[in-house]
A and B are shown apart, each in its own frame.
Chain A
Amino acid sequence: MTAAKPAHCRGTELRRAASALCIALAGSWAGSPAAAAPAPAIVSAEDAWVRGTVEGQTGSGAYMRLTAREDAQLIGASSPVAAHVEIHEMRTVNGMMTMRRVDRLALPAHVAVALDHDYHVMFIGLKHQLLPQQVVPITLQIVDGAGRRHAVQIQAPVRALNSVGTAPGAPPGDGKAAPHG
């Protein structure tokens, strides 16, 4: 993975003084585990999971609950299992469910934001079938209040295709895998 260094890190005057910071920022940008190790990630993800697929399906969704340590925004995501990963919002308009990409999702400090229904992570162009017991790495692209970018790595286990989350009308449960898989 190539680390695209923030522009301000290239200045000659700052180079020496801020080299350590630049390395840290670049590492954070690229999501390298070394940079993430000392401080807790800006955003923590809980109960992340990905809906399993059948052979031939090229799309799926990931669900999770995100809590930011400080005001931040989710601006994108990527995963090695899909050509594109987008943050989608669903709305019902005139009885029709519409689904659209959102460029930014606000993550206010210390507020758990659920990506479980109205918002979810959409996988487009799946490269292979997703089966329970697999774990899907997802990189969340986060921007903090100062405009700094952070890459947050999460591991989302695959649940059965017929799993239900906390969507309206879903059978009551704790948001975990459906017991009748």
Chain B
Amino acid sequence: MDDSAPVRRASLTSRLALFIAAIALLAAVFLAGPAARRFSRPEPLVFHGRDISAEHWDGAFSLADPDGKPRSLADFRGRIVLLAFGYTHCPDVCPTTLAKFAEARRLLGAEGGGVQGVFVTIDPDRDTAQLLRAYVPAFDPTFIGLRGTDAQTDAVTRAFHANYQIVQYHGDTLVDHTVSTYIIDGLGQPRVITPYDQTAQALADDIRTLLRTG
């Protein structure tokens, strides 16, 4: 009777040791995994927005600037392009987005000189060249408004996996549209999608990451 107690204790002790070892092993797996991945290949860039680098989007487009001059991403090589779709009759989202672009560029200080803001209208019927020329630079004098034919507008939205829909509504024309914005690197490759509620600081951080790492 008396000799059974130490055996039971030994058994409990070994079970406890096994349990601790299992926990330690699990912890090691969880902790070492990311570390091992980090050291095994170049450190991945970390963005606030969604990294679409690996999706290799072809963001090519041909649109006209307010002077009627054809523009494509090649014109902005070597600069980080911030691109948003919108329309000037949009009371809130589009001005807020363009104000955020301007704020992000300001937050970047001298580095902001390497940033080009681009506003692509998805309402080219009403957004004339003259209107875009007045509207877009009101947010930042370096920003540019681009417009295309209906076919070109369809093509550029497809290239950026964006949607828009013109809605006739109570005698007014509203345009539902994708409100995410896009950061395109200096080689013309779309790299990051930024959701509408992203702050200007987060946008500036992501631009800085691209400016410094290419």
Count residues of B near A (Cβ-Cβ below 8 Å).
42
Instruction: Report which of A57, A96, A164 forms a contact with B179, defined as CB distance below 8 A.
Output: A96
Would you give 16 A-B contacts (Cβ < 8 Å), ordered by A? A51-B91, A55-B134, A57-B88, A59-B91, A84-B171, A96-B164, A97-B179, A101-B170, A124-B172, A125-B172, A164-B96, A165-B96, A169-B96, A171-B200, A172-B199, A178-B99
Q: Which of A57-75 contact B (CB under 8 A)?
A: 57-61
Q: Is the CB of B138 within 8 A of A96?
A: no
A168-B197, A171-B199 as given contacts; A95 in contact with B99, CB under 8 Å: no
**In the assembled complex, how far is the CB of residue B202 from the closest CB belonging to chain A, in whole angstroms?**
8
The residue on A at minimum CB distance from B135 is: A54
Q: Is the CB of A54 within 8 A of B177?
A: no
Q: Which of B44-95 contact A (CB under 8 A)?
A: 88-93, 95
**In the assembled complex, how far is the CB of residue A92 from the closest CB belonging to chain B, in whole angstroms?**
7
Asked if A100 is an interface residue, CB under 8 A from chain B, the answer is yes
Task: Report chain A residues within 8 Å CB of B106.
Answer: 180
**In the assembled complex, how far is the CB of residue B177 from the closest CB belonging to chain A, in whole angstroms?**
6
Can you list, as one digit per residue, whether each of B121-132 has a CB less than 8 Å from chain A (1) or not (0)? 000001010110
Task: Report chain B residues within 8 Å CB of A88.
Answer: 91
Q: Is the CB of A169 within 8 A of B130?
A: no
